[in-house]
Every structure is written in structure tokens, then in C-alpha cells.
Amino acid sequence: MVKTDQTKAKLKQIGIKLAKDIGAGKNPTLDVPIRALSNVAYDPKTKLIMLGDKTAKRFFFNVAHVRKFVQTVEVAATAKELLDVDKHLSLREVFYRINRTLPGTNINIVDEQEESNKAIEDLELITNASREQLHINANKMGSVVGKVVIKDKGDLVDWSKLGSGGWAIPSNVEDIEFVKVNAKFIIYMEKAAEWERLHEDKVWEKLNCIIMCSQGQATRGVRRLLQRMHIEHKLPIYVLVDGDPWGVYIYSVLKYGSISLAHISERLAIPGARFLGLSADDVEKYDLKRHIIKFEDVDKARLEQISKYEWFKNNKEWQRQFDMWRKLGGKVELAALSSKGISFISDKYIPDKIRNKEFLD
Amino acid sequence: MAKTDSVKTAETMAGALREISVAEFFEKNRHLLGFDNPAKALLTVVKEAVDNSIDACEEARILPDIVVIVKEPREVFRITDESGVEIGMITKVGDKLELRIGDETAKFIEKKEPRKTESVYIFEHGDNTYKFRVMKKEIKKENGTPAISEVYEFVRGRTELRISKQPADRFSIIVEDNGPGIVKEHIPRVFGKLLYGSKFMGGKQSRGQQGIGISASVLYSQLTAGKPAIIHSRTAANKPVYMYHLRIDTTKNEPIIVEEKSFKEPPPLDGQKPVMTEHGVRFEVEVEGKWIQRYHSVEEYIKQTAISNPYANITFVKPDGEICKFERVTKELPPLPKSIKPHPHGVEMGALERMLKLTDSRTLAGFLSNDFSRIGPGTAMQICKLSNLKPSLKPKDVDHEQLERLWRTLQSFAFMKPPMDCLSPMGEERMIEGLKKEYKLDFVTAVSRSPAVYRGMPFLIEVGVGYGGELKDNEPAKILRFANRVPLLYQAASCATTKAVQKIDWRHYGLDVSGNMPIGPAIIAIHMASVWIPYISEAKEAIAPYPVIVKEIKLALQDCMRKLQRYISGKRQREVAAQRASLFEKYIPEVAEAISKISDVPKEKLQTGLVNILKKGQIIFEDEKAEDENGTKPVQTALAKKSEE
């Protein structure tokens, strides 16, 4: 409750500041920390992508700013309301909540959810409170299974007894209590299909681990949950993604954080995460060459971009990987491993890799 | 060469030689004088009379009050049956009607007026009764002004026949002014003799130049309508109004006085208030003519005259009875131009010969220094020397060969430019006033150039440009041409003004172009003031395109257009600003509500505060995207913009 009061106070503080601007006949402004490559830096010590202290002034009476200014203020008003009545809204619901047409025009406050999402992220930066603290939730987009018992809103949940779907990870995992954790490590994978494969093969039971996935880029709830378990229970995190630049990027975000969420890197990033696969070496080792899907131009460009990231730039092992991918000239999906046998990934690939400590840092 | 049967001798040919009458000359050369077709002739008559009136007023330093009435002296209706066979005619003169059936005149029985807007005329002829019904209806004209339109019906017994009004082919023209009037003795010659007047070789800027126009109108009237011209004149309030009915003796070119009268007060002026209450002239003729609309119309001429003479009050009554008033907007008359002696560069050999014959000077040197501007005694001696002529030579004794030598020297010698005080420009302000008063415009500007010289004649170009307002976007820009304040309506294509207009790259100034002419919501008025306007023909319809004249016009146009361009770009900015301001206006209630929710400050207070800020105009214009993508840039630009404002 203390936290909620703090958030409320911050919101009010912003409102008072704007009202003062207006009272003084000044163009009302919001100071928004800049979320751009130019204002984030990789801190080699903490191994995190951190937000710089540059801020941009967002004016109301500015043709280029007015729309975003109004969106931000609208989102703030919505958050204030949510905090006051102690309810939550999803991102989508917030979009609908603030969306309306200006009377006498064809201008909508927001046209796409993307806009309200951005405004919410900006509000996080301005208030230094997370989305969850503002009572705005993302969609549940992740599953987990393993020998873990947690307490969520008073309910005890045993992750190993939830059938084929596992436990759906909520967007806000702050208040979850770990009652019992019986696992040696966590495997996080990019795709639900692989997770289902591993679940069906009872990998979590056989290897005594936790398997977790979201769809594509890891959601905040998933990242926060991974981070908490990594810190609170010292569980190593292994990342299993497709063998392509996009997969590497997912790993990179999990480990170091992202530009757009640089302001909460400390609460999301897991510098200790390891890359399990699929590596360029695996292509040779498991004879997957015939499953290579040729790179498109965008893939090549992305590969070059990623290879120049500060945290990969001086990493010899990773540079060797990137060179190999360049030579291979294409990507290989995890699903390609099924060509070796239905449960090849569960019975052979993962156990071997873990046993031989074949992962990249 | 074919052999002819009878060889004409000089004697037989001499027998055929005779003096050609002015009437014959006029008939053969009417196109030169502006009478080539009925529409143009009607305009020329009005124009000559109005130009004379304004000239006279200006010279007498009187603010002109002018009444122009054009009316149909008679109306003709044609009656036909179903198959279009003509049955009869109605002629209406004033309130009198005559119905002719075949060759016979029907008997008028009575006139009934069942209601105010309806008159019925009843006739009898043979066994039939004829009814002619005239109904007045209120209509709206194209420009939205209400007007009265008449509807006609014609019935024989109970059969309705077709009746149609014939387009008028005759017009009465009355022009009255409050000018100084003309002394009684001069009236017959001024109006009844061609090439008589004070203006010929006057060396002074004026509207008329040769003293041919008004008497040509009288002659035209006589030849086409067969009626005398009626002139009223009064020179002072305590003097009578003299009236003359005049004809021209076409063989002798002398006036014939048909009737002569005097009145204490001016007779009624066809329903209008006479303006010659103290002094002035009324000129009235009936001519063959055609009433047309738009470009070459009398109405257009009067409107343009009102623009170029904003110190004149003009009342114009059209044939349909509509009264147009062009009000005076300034009481300032243009300065009276001074007379100048000819500049040596502007004199043709023939004119030089005539001047030598007519001069009072007894020596060639005296002639040169007395009769020309910019030739002093010293220069005169120099000219004589250069021409290898004795300064003491008598001007009348100069022979042809000597004349030619003298003329060549005069042409090649570098004289000072002619004096410029002989010019009376409209002035930038009067030009702007004039345009503003006849057109609703968003922006008007004008440029008066300094005087320049063509062939020894000083001249001056002025250009006025109006933009926006009632002018349409996709139509050719309207171009008004004036020479010594007289609108020029015909022969635009060969005029110096048009040549100059075509030399401008209008796109450069934000207008479209079609066939080298500007398209867009602009009106361009070009005025040339000069002691002698080099017209292409005696009809005074177009200015001859001397390169220096075209160049001066072009420079004036460019100057004006630069000003307009600044206005247009400013206007676009203002429009964008207004659009943006309205955008903020729309956002204010929303943002006030939201901030009120966060801050618990009442919404109304925030809303008023924001509206006040908007009124102060603290709006920042900036490219989209600037904020998030380029890190530090937006901070700088936003602050920079702020400090600018």
C-alpha cells in the first residue's frame, strides 16, 4: 500500500506541475526521459543497458508534441483513477478507455494501441513507476511448468500439477510468493511449440528443471519472473531460441535489457542468463545444413546490427558465431531438430548440451 | 501587260477628282476611329463623352460628377404564329404602343392595369381583338442583385400567339457632367466639326489627343440614326443653360444648327438628378449599337473608369433600368499636368517641317531654343553647327535638304531627358483605392515607377495588383489597361501591357500560367501616363509596344508581384497557424479535464488558463518525429523555438 501511495503522489505531483505552468501562463511541459539509442548506454560493470539522464521537453502548445502530450496526460488520468479505486486495466483496455474523437473533428486521441502503449511507457519514465505499479497490466503471454509451488493472491499453485497448459504467467508477478522451489535450472524458450514438446517429454521431470516460454519477445511478466527466480533461488537460466539474429536478440534482451525498457533494466534484465541454442556450431554438429533457410536482406542487416552491439562487439565467442552464421548464409529453426527424431530435442540435444556445458555467455 | 481599248488621260482622270467629304472619309475609316461594329461603336460614343467630361473637370479642378444613361429609345416585338410566320409587329416608344398587322396599323382601344405589375393593351383590327400583356417579375441576376424582368403575352381572340422582343439595335446615350461647361459660341464647332479642339499638339497629358472623338460620335449618330445630337451647356449658376440640336454638314465639315434654345435650369434628365446645376455639359445622341456584357462592354468601361478615377462620382443607368453608382472614395484630384514643348527626340520630320513653318522665331537658333524643351541658346548654336546650317537662317527658308540634316542632328544629339512635371500619375494610393473600391480583395498593392522616356516623350508606368477576395482561383487573372486613366478594352493582344505581362514568369510568383498569361485570383491594373500615348491606331485601343515601355511595365509588374508574393507566403503561414490554433482549441477541453483529474485543480481554471496561453500565440512549430528519434535534438530545438518567440 505504501507503494501505491507513492505512485499516487507522483502522479499528483505531475498534475500540480502542469497546473502551475498553466497558471503562470507558460506552455505546459512534461519532462520525458528520452528512450533512444542516444540515451542508453551499456554498463559493462553491471552488464545492463541503462537509461541515460537526457530528457526531452514535451510541450502541449507544440504542433509536433500535442498529440503525445495529450495521450500521456490521458494515460496519467486513467492510472490515477485506477489507483484510486484499486482496479487494474489491461493495455488494450487502457487504449479503449482513453480513445475518443475530439468533438467537431476527425481526430482521435489515439488511433492504435501502439500509441497508448508508448504513452504508458512514457508515463513509467516520468513517474519512475512501473506499468504494474500504475495498475496497468499486459496480456498473459507465457507458460511455465516445473516442480514449484507458489502463492498467488492467497491461492497455492503447484506448477507441476496443471496438466498440459502449465501455469499461465500473469503480467504482474511482484506479489507472487515462492513457497517451494525444487529445480536446478530454468530453460526459457522462444516458442510455445518447443515448450509443448519439452512438456510432453517431461523434460522438467527428467532433468529436474523449470521450463518457461512466452511467444516471441519475452513479456515483462516472464522476464520479471525469470529474474526473481534467478536472484531469489539462484537458478541458472538457459535460453533456447531459433538459430537466427532474431533469436539472438531475444537472448540479448533477456540478458542485458532493451532500449525501450532501459529504465527498468534493473528489474528485468538477467546478466547471468546463458545461450543454450541453437548455435552455429549445432548446425555442423547435428547435421542441420540441409534445413538452412536462406537469409533475407532484413535478416542480414539485423545480424550486422546485433554483431555491433557493444556487449557482443568484444565477445570473441559471439563474433565467431556471427561469422559462422554469415558463412552459413541462413537460419535454422529449433523445430528442425525434429528431423533427427520426435523427441530428439528432449532426449539428446538439451541433456547433452547441459551436461557438456555447451552454452554461450 | 494587257492592252486596253481606251487609254485614260490625265484630263479625264482629273475630272473624277473631287474633295472627299468627311462623311465618306468616316465611312471608309470608321474602324480607325472605333466604330467598326455596333457593339464597339456604342462603347466608343460613351467613352469619348466620358473622357471629355473627366478631362474638362480635372482641368477646371472640379471633382467630377458624371451621369451616364444608356437606354433603348424604342422596343420592337415580333409576333408570329405557330409555324413562325410573321403576323405583325409592336413598336413601343416610351409609353406609346403601335401594333401593325401586315402593313396596316391596328386601332388602339384601351390600356388596362389589372394590378401594379401588369399592363394590358387592347387593339382591334378587322374582326379581331388583340391583347398585349406585359407582366413585371422580380428576378435575381447572376450576381445576386434583384432586378425586374418583363414577361410578354400576345393573344388574338382566344389564340395565344408567339411574341418575342427583338434585340435592341438603337440606343440613346446621355452623358452629363458638372464640368466647367462650354461657352455658347464654341458649342457648335466642338461637337459639329471634326478635328476641332484644344488638344491637338497640346504637349500636355490628357485623355483625348486629337479632338476627333466626340464629333465623330455626332457624325456616327447622324449616319446611323439620322438624328441630331442634343447638347446642353452651362458655364455658371447665374447663366442660362444653352441647348443646341446639331448636325454636321458632311461635305464642308461644318456644324449645322438645327435648333437653339436656352433654359433657366437644366431640363429633366430621364429620372436622374441633373449634375449640371451650376455648370456642366449634357451630351445626348441616338446611335445604332449593340448592348453586350463583360469584357468589351460599356459597363466594364465605366467600372474601370471608376477604378482609374477614384475621385469621380459616376452614376450609370443601364438599358434595363438598373442604376449602378460608382462612388467617389477620395476628394483629391491628381495634380494638373504642365504643358511642355516637344523634346527634339520626339519630333518627326514632317512635324519639324510644320513647326518651322508656324514658328514666330525669326532665326533658326531662336526657333530651336524657343520651340523645344532641353535646347538652350548654346545648344541651339551647337546644333546649327553640327547640321552645317547658319544660325541666322530664317526658319521658313529651310529647304528640304537642310530640313533633313537638321532632323538627323536632332535625333542623334544627346539631349537632357525631357522634363517630367508634365506627367500626372495616378499615384500608388489612388490606384489602391480605385481597385479596392470596385473589387473585394484580400490584398492590394501598387507601384509607381519614376518617369522614363520613349522617343523624346516622357512617360510613366504604374501597376496595381489585387489578390484574393471575390476573385476566382482557376480563372485567368484580370488585366486592366489604362492610358492616361482611360480604360483600354480592345486589342489587348497587340498592346504593350500584354507584351510585358507575357514576359513575366508568373509561376515564380505563385500564379499558374496558360498561354503565357497568369491564372489565379489576381487583378492587375497597368497605367501609362504620357503627354503622348503611342496608340497603335486612332481608335486608341492599344499602346504600341516600344521596348522601353514594355520594359518599364515589366519592372513595375515584377515589383508589385514581389510584394504580392510576400503577402501570399505570409498568408499561407497565417492559414497554417490558424489551423494549428484551432487544433489546440479542440484539444484544450480534453487536456484540461485530464490534468484536472491528476492535479485536483478545477477544470474550468485550467481551461481558461490554456485558452489565454493560446491567445498569446505561444505555439511551437516543429517537424513531426523530432521528439523521440533523435535524442537530444528536440530539447535544443524546442528551447530554441521558445526563445525565438
Cis before A278 (ω within 30): yes
**Domains recognised in chain A with CATH numbers:** 2-137 (1.10.10.10), 142-355 (3.40.1360.10)
Q: Which of A42, A96, A249, A309 is catalytic?
A: A96
Residue B3 lies in a domain: no
Residues B601, A16: C-beta atoms closer than 8 Å: yes
Q: How many CB pairs under 8 A join A and B?
A: 140
pLDDT number for residue B340 = 77
Judgement on whether residues B536 and B600 belong to the same structural domain of the protein: no
DSSP state of A328: H
Beta-ladder partners of B164: B78
Beta strands A237-240 and A185-189 are parallel
**CA distance linking residue A314 with residue A304, whole number of Å:** 14
- Rounded to an integer, the average pLDDT of B410-423 is 82
**CA distance linking residue B607 with residue B389, whole number of Å:** 93
**CA distance linking residue B627 with residue A36, whole number of Å:** 10
- Rounded to an integer, the average pLDDT of B591-613 is 91
Amino acid at B554: K
**CA distance linking residue B596 with residue A122, whole number of Å:** 20
If DSSP codes are grouped into helix, strand and coil, which group holds residue B148?
Answer: strand
Q: Maximum distance among all alpha carbons in chain B? A: 121
CA closest to A67 among chain B residues: B587
CA distance A148 to chain B (A): 42
CA distances from B62 to A20, A328, B50, B181, B332 (A): 67, 100, 15, 11, 10
pLDDT number for residue A52 = 82
Judgement on whether residues B27 and B89 belong to the same structural domain of the protein: no
Residue scoring higher pLDDT (B22 or B558) = B558
Judgement on whether residues B65 and B90 belong to the same structural domain of the protein: no
| pLDDT tier for residue B473 given thresholds of 50, 70 and 90 | confident
Count Cα atoms within 13 angstroms, Cβ side, for A63.
Answer: 15
Residue B383 lies in a domain: yes
Number of Cβ within 10 Å of residue A172's Cβ equals 19
Category of A257 on φ-ψ map: left (φ > 0), alpha (ψ -120 to 50) or beta: left
- Rounded to an integer, the average pLDDT of B527-544 is 85
In which residue ranges of chain A is pLDDT below 50?
1-2
Nearest to A60 among B589, B591, B628 (CB): B591
Category of B381 on φ-ψ map: left (φ > 0), alpha (ψ -120 to 50) or beta: alpha
pLDDT at B634 over 70: no
pLDDT, tens digit (0-9, with 9 covering 90-100), for B150-160: 888 899 888 88
What percent of chain B is predicted at pLDDT more than 70?
Answer: 89
Residues A61, B626: C-beta atoms closer than 8 Å: no
CATH code, domain carrying B79: 2.40.128.180
Judgement on whether residues B218 and B265 belong to the same structural domain of the protein: yes
Residues B631, A38: C-beta atoms closer than 8 Å: yes
Judgement on whether residues B581 and B564 belong to the same structural domain of the protein: no
Spatial CB neighbours of B4, under 8 Å, sequence gap ≥ 6: none
pLDDT number for residue A158 = 93
Which of A60, A74, A105, A118 to mutate to test binding with chain B, by most B CBs within 10 Å of its CB? A60
Range from A306-315, B136-145, B607-616 carrying the lowest mean pLDDT: B136-145
pLDDT number for residue A1 = 41
Last residue of one domain, picked from the residues B551, B568, B585: B568
Number of Cβ within 10 Å of residue B242's Cβ equals 20
Contact B176, B507 (CB under 8 A): no
pLDDT at B10 over 60: yes
What percent of chain B is predicted at pLDDT more than 90?
Answer: 26
Judgement on whether residues B369 and B471 belong to the same structural domain of the protein: no
pLDDT number for residue B618 = 59
pLDDT number for residue A173 = 86
Nearest to A73 among B580, B591, B634 (CB): B591
CA distance B586 to chain A (A): 6
Last residue of one domain, picked from the residues B137, B165, B193: B165
Residue B269 lies in a domain: yes
What is the domain range of residue B351?
Answer: 344-412
Judgement on whether residues B350 and B469 belong to the same structural domain of the protein: no
Q: Maximum distance among all alpha carbons in chain A? A: 73
Residue B419 lies in a domain: no
* Burial class of residue B575 in the structure, from the number of CB atoms within 10 Å of its CB (0-12 exposed, 13-18 middle, 19+ buried): exposed
Q: What pTM value is reported for the model?
A: 0.58
Residue B102 lies in a domain: yes
CA closest to B609 among chain A residues: A22
The tally of domains found in chain B comes to: 5
Judgement on whether residues B239 and B160 belong to the same structural domain of the protein: no
pLDDT number for residue B73 = 84
DSSP state of B111: E
Judgement on whether residues B200 and B267 belong to the same structural domain of the protein: yes
CATH code, domain carrying B319: 3.30.565.10
Judgement on whether residues B629 and B511 belong to the same structural domain of the protein: no
pLDDT at B637 over 70: no
pLDDT at B619 over 70: no
**CA distance linking residue A215 with residue B183, whole number of Å:** 108
Any B CB within 8 A of A69 CB: yes
Spatial CB neighbours of B268, under 8 Å, sequence gap ≥ 6: B274
pLDDT number for residue B172 = 92
**CA distance linking residue B584 with residue B592, whole number of Å:** 12
Residue scoring higher pLDDT (B183 or B573) = B183
C-alpha grid cell, residue B129:
381583338
pLDDT, tens digit (0-9, with 9 covering 90-100), for B283-300: 999 999 888 888 788 999
* Burial class of residue B143 in the structure, from the number of CB atoms within 10 Å of its CB (0-12 exposed, 13-18 middle, 19+ buried): exposed
CATH code, domain carrying B449: 3.30.230.10
Q: CA-based angle B15:B19:B20, to the nearest 5?
A: 115
**CA distance linking residue B112 with residue B496, whole number of Å:** 59
pLDDT number for residue B642 = 34
pLDDT, tens digit (0-9, with 9 covering 90-100), for A235-282: 999 999 999 999 999 999 999 888 778 878 888 889 889 999 899 999
Any B CB within 8 A of A27 CB: yes
Residues A12, B629: C-beta atoms closer than 8 Å: no
pLDDT, tens digit (0-9, with 9 covering 90-100), for B347-400: 888 888 888 888 888 999 999 988 888 888 889 999 999 999 998 989 988 888
C-alpha grid cell, residue B318:
443601364
Enumerate the residues of chain B whose CB falls inside 8 A of the CB of residue A57. 634-635, 638-639
Nearest to B587 among A12, A59, A66 (CB): A66
Q: Is A96 a catalytic residue?
A: yes
pLDDT number for residue B433 = 87
So what's the ipTM on this one? 0.72
Mean pLDDT of chain B: 83
Judgement on whether residues B62 and B188 belong to the same structural domain of the protein: yes
Residues A70, B594: C-beta atoms closer than 8 Å: yes
pLDDT number for residue B18 = 59
Beta-ladder partners of B111: B121
pLDDT number for residue B208 = 58
Residue B339 lies in a domain: no
- Give the burial string for B469-487 (b: 16+ CB within 10 Å, else e): eebeeeebbbbbbbbbbbb
Judgement on whether residues B605 and B514 belong to the same structural domain of the protein: no
Contact B229, B245 (CB under 8 A): yes
Enumerate the residues of chain B whose CB falls inside 8 A of the CB of residue A76. 594, 598
pLDDT at B17 over 70: no
pLDDT number for residue B160 = 87
pLDDT at B66 over 90: yes
